Structure 1
């Protein structure tokens, strides 16, 4: 399977497809709807993509590759302390979600619609991105900056970040930088149980 294609026209078509998949859902989106959104004839669509599955794979690949690129760049620019790296990853994740929202909503909610060939092709990108998070979380755990099980911490953190696509307003009073700081503050703050809870048996 060959999804990667640097053609500007194909990238534009992929962006438009992501928007339609978010609005209608992958299953309800037809080839005719895609062609109409893209401003081309239905038959012309297949000059760029093999089928609707390949369009979905292209949307998810571009979004995931973008997330990986932004995260690696952020880690390369930040300080080497565990806290700085954790903050850089959170900020990069928010930047990715909020600047490329449609592709990431599709990746979050339509991954299960990929056929086995497409999932096999794209899993290495998703695994590489998750490995970056696990590395940074491991560093924070080893430094005593945060506490807990790595698997659970990473899932809770990414779940919280991913959910921002549902409620965050880029025109609102809070910036992505502030959101990242708030999240890291919550993760790194010591947990104090109420006195009544500490005496329960």
Structure 2
């Protein structure tokens, strides 16, 4: 699905090649500053490399319409946006961006069930805890039914037990639909349990250490 060759991005990333396979769960791990978030942004076409090529299904990402690309390759940032209004308003926000039909409430509730968020659709989103907001954003991403999900620390605000439940449930749903998932985590436990492919950035990255503070 993704093929990256001869990548250079500032002093953050420098590597010869990386392939991310379609339909697999690839988990990125590495110390702070190793370029995990930067790599997700390259895949999402939020940034472009200074050198090298990022291919998505054989096409150079630089040549793709960024908006259309981000409908196919959805990124959930570590501090996801929560919009004013209700839980339902937040769930359908991503669908509006993707110009997709809003499903019946039952499907929205099923997405909440997948991420273990037991809140009525009419609940005010602003009153949710940090962990609940993170799960709400994850449910929103799931509903977008993208080809690939890029998840940056999607369980960072959750305790270990809840994180296991949520990540396991989300990935099971994604795998049933043959989706591609690229996930950043600092949790060795999550990486060990849920990765089809583990990508340790320090093993491929040739950048000089100590020059960047971006994850």
Q: Which has the higher strand share?
A: 2
Normalising by the residue count of structure 2, what TM-score does the alignment of the two structures yield? 0.24
Q: Which has the higher helix share?
A: 1
Normalising by the residue count of structure 1, what TM-score does the alignment of the two structures yield? 0.25
Higher radius of gyration, 1 or 2: 1
By relative contact order (CA 8 Å, sep 6+), the higher-ranking structure is: 2
